[in-house]
Structure 1
């Protein structure tokens, strides 16, 4: 594995290694259409909007989620294959 790939994978694993971010991924993937508005993610986590937005940004920057702006709201969905890629790395033969 190259140093660049290892660094990118480490950033993704670090992004999902937070309980609130794992919950966000779970909530979004279970939402209708597998997407959720940031406005719908604040209450389930019982966190403030700035904190939820920070966690979402980390996941977007790591390539786990994608963000789509619709009017004044941002909608988030999983990047297709992003979690499968991480799982695949863990299952690779040594």
Structure 2
């Protein structure tokens, strides 16, 4: 039973993957961007902003969704999740 945040069409990101994505995009300021036609798995939008690519499958999450999901999980009273690096 892992804390997760749900996106569009039932997409999910677990606390561990969110931690990896947050560390890479927010803490380390990665500027990696997918191909022009790739969309974020969480919001389904194609945006010219940094993304995180899951090492486990072909899922992508944009910087905006990482920040939004981190805020959601941090506010959840049933978890003790904290964003890496603060």
- Which TM-score band (shorter chain)? 0.3 to 0.5
Q: Select the structure that is richer in helix.
A: 1
Compare CA radii of gyration and give the structure with the larger one.
1
